[in-house]
Amino acid sequence: MDLQERVALKKADRSDLYTLEPPFPSTNFLLELSNACNHKCLFCAHQKMKRKVGKMSPEMVESVLRQAYELGTREVGMYATGEPFIVPELPQYIKLAKDIGYTYVYLTSNGSLATPERIRAVVDAGVDSVKFSINAPERELYAFIHGHDDFGKVFEHLVYLNQYRKESGKNFKIYITGILTRYTEHTRDDYFKVFDGLADQIVFKDVYNQGGYMPEIDHLLKCTYDTEQTRRCNLPFDALCVTCEGYLSVENADFENMLIVADLNKVSLKEGWYGEKMKEVRRMFLNDCLEGTLCHGCVHHCQSPAKPLMPEYATENPDIFLDWPVRERIKAAGKPYTKLVYVPMAADIIHPGHINIIKTAASLGRVMVGLFSDDAIRTYKPEPYMDYDQRKVVLENLKGVDVVVEQAEKDYEANLRRYRPDIMVHGTDWREGPLAAVRQKAFDIMAEWGGTIVEPEYTQGVSSSEFKRKVRESQ
């Protein structure tokens, strides 16, 4: 099976696997030797990760390798959220896997740390394939995507990897993968020119919401030709993913351990794979009932609230879904992108004025409505007729609104600093009255990161406050 076929299996229709107790995986086994990485790829959640950086203990490495082998696994990849060449013990772990009997031991690396000395060590240890993840075929784009100007270094290491294969006489494979984004989708042909003769196979993958952690990929990075609405995922039925702490996860890109199903420090690998928590996840996939998990956002290409499967093992990260780190990098590179437009609203009674504001905002970018909480409304308006949750449902179903977040105070500072929108849209009605004091402050804050404020003319003749006043008088 070649690399392209391996990649396709992750999304292929494999009905024979779709059961609460599928066969123990024989091939798809990944060890996160470390969650440390020296690059900050534009599409990767590692740049936002708050989980403690560490590496797997030698005892855990040997334990899970032996357990998986005894259960029938014959292939293992030594990477996940981190860069494998960061781990000094990598060669000895490869040799251990080969000594145990694994027929295929493989690595995926960004290649920047794969020095000749380290290459010789892993090759001599018996590695069966080394894959370099090179996400642009030229220096400037590479630095933009990877966050580091290492293209020349990686190219040299790739050349040496080929050279040492000839010198050593070892029969291992050399692969290149390119994760394509809208900024690199035009470079496919360049890969074959630049890396001619340096890889046994070059395979491309379209960027997608990485493990559910990167919903911004759908509106900022995905390829222009990508129209996928639902993503099939076979990982809960055919993949072993062990984190550096020794936890069994549903998938290998679990940056904050939100998809942990078992602690292998306490239970066996077999117990984890066939345990109730993993069965619960499989049941959710079989019924397409993933709401409340990271998987829902990944499978259905959306941004939705997510809680960890086992909170005691997860790292709390309230900022994991913020898209401004990606937007700021794109903006700094001078490239076009979908801007975030922040629209504060009470929206107790939707009227044409609200619709005009939303239309204006939607013409400028992706609309985030900052919906005032009930308490925030009470500070400057009469008691709302609908509570926050009711108003939120209405707004989420309005054309042009992409996401709704809570605006907890009359002052906009907290939300503006948290979400760092490119544009804020507010009607001219705030130039006077109870919100006048926060208007200039909003201008000053937005200016800190080059944001702007657009003020559509207030729609005359409609007012929710006036409407409610007349209703009360008529009662």
What pLDDT sits at residue 466? Answer: 56
Q: 182 and 224 in contact (C-beta within 8 Å)?
A: yes
pLDDT at residue 342 in the model: 98
Question: What integer pLDDT is reported at residue 459 of this predicted model?
Answer: 65
Q: What's the whole-number mean pLDDT along residues 436-463?
A: 87
Q: 292 pairs with which residues across the strands?
A: 306
Distance (Å, whole) CA 224 – CA 407: 33
CATH number of 339-474: 3.40.50.620
More confident residue, 129 or 462: 129
The average confidence (pLDDT) of the chain is 94
pLDDT given at position 322: 96
Q: How far apart are CA 305 and CA 286, in angstroms?
A: 21
Q: Quick one: three-class SS letters along the chain?
A: CCHHHHHHHCCCCCHHHCCCCCCCCCCCEEECCECCCCCCCCCCHHHHCCCCCCECCHHHHHHHHHHHHHCCCCEEECCCCCCHHHCCCHHHHHHHHHHHCCCEEEEEECCCCCCHHHHHHHHHHCCCEEEEECCCCCHHHHHHHHCCCCHHHHHHHHHHHHHHHHHHCCCCEEEEEEEECCCCHHHHHHHHHHCCCCCCEEEEEECCCHHHCCCCHHHHCCCCCCCCCCCCCCHHHHCEEECCCCEEECCCCCCCCCCEEEECCCCCHHHHHCCHHHHHHHHHHHCCCCCECHHHHHHCCCCCCECCCCHHHCCCCCCCCCCHHHHHHHHHCCCCCCCEEEEEECCCCCCHHHHHHHHHHHCCCEEEEEEECHHHHHCCCCCCCCCHHHHHHHHHCCCCCCEEEEECCCCCHHHHHHHCCCEEECCHHHHCCCCHHHHHHHHHHHHCCCCEEECCCCCCCCCHHHHHHHHHHHC
pLDDT at 465 over 60: no
pLDDT of residue 461: 54
* Residue range 177-190: mean pLDDT, rounded: 98
Per residue in 195-224, pLDDT (tens digit) is 999 999 999 999 999 889 999 999 999 999
Tell me the pLDDT band of 473, cut-offs 50, 70 and 90. Answer: low
Share of the chain above pLDDT 90, in %: 85
C-alpha–C-alpha distance, residues 213 and 451, integer Å: 25
CB within 8 Å of 199: residues ≥ 6 apart: 132, 158, 174, 175, 176
Boundaries of every domain in the chain: 3-313, 339-474
Superfamily covering domain 3-313? Aldolase class I (3.20.20.70)
Say whether pLDDT at 144 is over 60: yes
Q: Which pLDDT band holds residue 471 (cuts at 50, 70, 90)?
A: very low
Write the pLDDT tens digit of every residue in 320-363. 999 999 999 999 999 999 999 999 999 988 988 899 999 999 99
- Distances in Å between the Cα of 29 and the Cα atoms of 111, 266, 292 are 21, 20, 26
CA 189 to chain centre: 27
Q: Give the confidence band of 467 by pLDDT, cuts at 50, 70, 90.
A: low
Band of the pLDDT at 1, cuts 50, 70, 90?
low
Identify the pLDDT of residue 383.
84
Residue 48 pLDDT exceeds 80: yes
pLDDT, one tens digit per residue, over 402-433 is 999 999 998 999 999 999 999 999 999 888 87
**pLDDT of the residue at 385:** 86
Q: Are the C-beta atoms of residues 107 and 130 closer than 8 Å to each other?
A: yes
